[in-house]
A = this chain, B = another copy of it.
Amino acid sequence: MDLTISRLGNARIVSPLKKASDLAGRPYRFTPDDMRVVYDASVRPGEKKGPESEMSFEKAGARELIYFDPSKLKAGIVTCGGLCPGINNVIRSLVMVLHYNYGVKNIFGFRYGYEGLVAEAGHPAVDLSPEVVDGIHHDGGSFLGSSRGEQDPAVIVDTLERMGISLFFTIGGDGTLRGAQRIYDEIMNRGLKIAVICVPKTIDNDILLVERTFGFETAFSIAQQVIRAAHTEAVGYPNGIGLVRLMGRNSGYIAATAAVAEADVNCVLIPEVPFSMDGERGLISWLLKRLQRRSHAVIVVAEGAGQEVLGGGDRGKDASGNVKLGDIGLFLKKAIAEGLDKAGVKHNLKYIDPSYIIRSAPANPNDSMFCSNLAQNAIHAGVSGRTGMVVGLWHNMFTHVPIREAVSKTKVIDPDGDLWRTVLQSTGQPSRMA
Taking a contact as CB atoms closer than 8 A, the residue among B100, B236, B356, B364 that contacts A425 in the complex is: B100
A361 vs B236: C-alpha distance when bound (angstroms): 12
Q: Is A235 an interface residue (CB 8 A)?
A: yes
Query: What chain B residues lie within 8 Å of A238 (beta carbons)?
Result: 112, 115, 121, 123, 145, 147
A-B contact pairs, 21 of them (CB 8 A): A21-B421, A24-B431, A28-B421, A34-B45, A35-B42, A42-B397, A92-B263, A115-B238, A139-B232, A140-B229, A145-B236, A146-B237, A220-B366, A224-B365, A229-B356, A229-B360, A262-B365, A263-B368, A263-B372, A372-B426, A395-B397
Would B360 and A233 count as touching, CB distance under 8 A? yes
Would A29 and B417 count as touching, CB distance under 8 A? yes
Would A25 and B432 count as touching, CB distance under 8 A? yes
A337-367 with Cβ < 8 A to chain B: 348, 350-354, 356-357, 360-361, 364-366
A69-108 with Cβ < 8 A to chain B: 83, 92, 97, 100-101
Query: What chain B residues lie within 8 Å of A354 (beta carbons)?
Result: 354, 357
Q: Is A261 an interface residue (CB 8 A)?
A: yes
Q: Mark A368-402, 1 if CB is under 8 A from B, else 0.
A: 11001100100000000000000000011100000
Query: What chain B residues lie within 8 Å of A6 (beta carbons)?
Result: none
Would B26 and A416 count as touching, CB distance under 8 A? yes
Give the secondary structure class of A's interface. Answer: mixed
Would B29 and A43 count as touching, CB distance under 8 A? no
Query: What chain B residues lie within 8 Å of A356 (beta carbons)?
Result: 229-230, 233, 242, 350-352
Q: Mark A230-246, 1 if CB is under 8 A from B, else 0.
A: 10110111100010000
Would A112 and B237 count as touching, CB distance under 8 A? yes
Q: Is A178 an interface residue (CB 8 A)?
A: no
Q: Is A1 an interface residue (CB 8 A)?
A: no
Q: Is A141 an interface residue (CB 8 A)?
A: yes
Would A142 and B236 count as touching, CB distance under 8 A? yes
A344 vs B232: C-alpha distance when bound (angstroms): 44
Q: Mark A419-434, 1 if CB is under 8 A from B, else 0.
A: 0011011101011100
Would B37 and A41 count as touching, CB distance under 8 A? yes
Would A41 and B397 count as touching, CB distance under 8 A? yes
Q: Is A164 an interface residue (CB 8 A)?
A: no
Would A422 and B263 count as touching, CB distance under 8 A? no
Taking a contact as CB atoms closer than 8 A, the residue among B29, B364, B396 that contacts A364 in the complex is: B364
Q: Is A158 an interface residue (CB 8 A)?
A: no
Q: Is A321 an interface residue (CB 8 A)?
A: no
Q: Is A159 an interface residue (CB 8 A)?
A: no
Which residue of chain B is the closest to A79 with respect to CB atoms?
B236
A272-320 with Cβ < 8 A to chain B: none
A17-31 with Cβ < 8 A to chain B: 21, 24-29
Q: Is A38 an interface residue (CB 8 A)?
A: yes
Taking a contact as CB atoms closer than 8 A, the residue among B32, B44, B396, B421 that contacts A395 in the complex is: B396
Given contacts A38-B38, A220-B366, 9 further A-B contacts (CB under 8 A): A21-B421, A38-B42, A139-B232, A220-B365, A226-B357, A263-B372, A352-B357, A366-B366, A395-B397
- What are the 6 closest A-B residue pairs judged by CB atoms, nearest first? A141-B232, A395-B395, A232-B360, A221-B365, A41-B41, A24-B431
Query: What chain B residues lie within 8 Å of A147 (beta carbons)?
Result: 237-238, 348
Would A233 and B83 count as touching, CB distance under 8 A? yes
Q: How far is the CB of A292 from chain B (nearest CB, A)?
A: 13
Query: What chain B residues lie within 8 Å of A361 (beta carbons)?
Result: 229
